[in-house]
Amino acid sequence: MNATFQEIGGWLEEGESFALLSHVRPDGDAIGSQIALGFALEAMGKTVHLINEDGLPDNLAFMAGAERIETPSAGPIEVDVVIALDTATKPRLGDKALAAVGHVERWINIDHHKSNPGYGDLNHIDDGSPATGQILYNLITDLGLPMPPETRDAIYVAVSTDTGSFQYAGTTSATYEMAADLVRRGLEVGKINALIYDNHPMRRVELMRSLLNTLEVGSGGRVAHWQLTMDTVRSLGLKPEDSEGLIDIIRAIQGVTVALFFEELDGGKIRVSMRSKDRRIDACEVCQQFGGGGHALAAGIRMPGPIEEARKKVLEVVDAKLSQIES
Ligand code: AMP
Ligand code: MN
Ligand code: MN
């Protein structure tokens, strides 16, 4: 059962100190949500810690307030309330982060992944929202919480990145109305978009070149997939965030229904990114079969390697699903 904004607001009022967490390999919605709610709480006079297992990725370092993102301390963090943001399952908060806040008694879980089981004491899971940042916008405006510039800009980054620049099907009229309101509140659209989208390191383009060399299209042109091995990660000096969003290149191919990205991680696990363009192929459902999760049209997995094996297993399931629907 979802907690109401009023119930969550009660805990925000009562608590004095908060640890805000988001998922491993954080994206714009994860970090943006932390900064957005964190600065609103701080403006209310609260003590706030913004913690991420993997820390701040370089591609989000431009965000106002980004310097506040810390990796988990070795010892426990004493706070009244933990707030998990944009994180589909508790383990995705990361081992060190969980060790640091595991003893805290009050947990709020705010997310938009339909696979979120509701692991908080208060849960607000809205899978109709295209980004956790949009839920926070609603929370902040409904409760009349402060919206300092860091919060305003972070909400925009969260929602823009999770909607592919306001393109994906989950983008609603409320999303555009929210964006208009943020602009009215002083957001500089041109400036922030240039920082998000026109500011990639050269190695990301080298990565694109390398990925294109591994591209395979199968199932009668309906599945496109490519892969990134540790060798390439090392030789190009890649950072985890360098591949963020690149899957959209193969998702955009005419006739392709499913796009998959397979990546070798340090330690031998394989990270899978999946995108679907057809609601009859539920990416979340496919990924859940392998212990992952996400949304109907965008989901992911962390599964055992080797990469060829992972690729084969996932492609088999996708092919079977595709054969059930007409092309
Ligand atoms: P990505 O392909 O990494 O951009 O992830 C697509 C969506 O699926 C995001 O909303 C992720 O938070 C979610 N997701 C990715 N990997 C997992 C996982 N292993 N478990 C649950 N959700 C995931
Ligand atoms: Mn995310
Ligand atoms: Mn999200």
Instruction: Report DSSP letters for 179-210, one per residue.
Output: HHHHHHTT--HHHHHHHHHS---HHHHHHHHH
Question: Are 241 and 176 in the same domain?
Answer: no
Here the CATH number for the domain that contains residue 249 is: 3.10.310.30
Q: Which of 29, 86, 92 most suits a substitution to test ligand 1, by most atoms within 8 Å of the C-beta?
A: 92
Residue among 194, 131, 126 nearest 168 (CA): 131
What's the chain's Rg over C-alpha atoms?
19
Cα distance between residue 76 and residue 159, in whole Å: 32
Name residue, tokens 């009229």: 173
User: Which residue, 197, 223, 242, sits at the end of a domain?
Assistant: 197
Residues with a beta carbon under 5 angstroms from ion ligand 3:
29, 86, 132, 162
Here the CATH number for the domain that contains residue 175 is: 3.90.1640.10
Nearest CA to ligand 1 atom 2: 273
Overall average pLDDT of the 275-283 stretch: 97
Q: What's the pLDDT at 1? A: 87
Question: Are 49 and 189 in the same domain?
Answer: yes
Residue numbers of the domain that contains 37:
5-197
Question: Are 36 and 122 in the same domain?
Answer: yes
Q: Which of 227, 295, 314 most suits a substitution to test ligand 1, by most atoms within 8 Å of the C-beta?
A: 295
Q: Are strands 47-52 and 223-228 parallel, antiparallel or unpaired?
A: unpaired
Q: What's the pLDDT at 18? A: 99
At 78-88, the pLDDT tens digits run 999 999 999 99
Domain count, the chain: 2
Distance 26 CA to ligand 1 centre (A): 10
Q: What is the pTM of this model?
A: 0.96
Nearest CA to ligand 1 atom 7: 299
Q: Judge whether residue 327 has pLDDT over 70.
A: no
Question: Are 147 and 293 in the same domain?
Answer: no
User: Which residue, 197, 212, 238, sits at the end of a domain?
Assistant: 197
Question: Are 9 and 150 in the same domain?
Answer: yes
Question: Are 206 and 193 in the same domain?
Answer: no
- Binding pocket residue ranges, ligand 1, CB within 6 Å: 23, 88-89, 92, 113, 273, 292-295, 298-302
User: Which residue, 143, 175, 197, sits at the end of a domain?
Assistant: 197
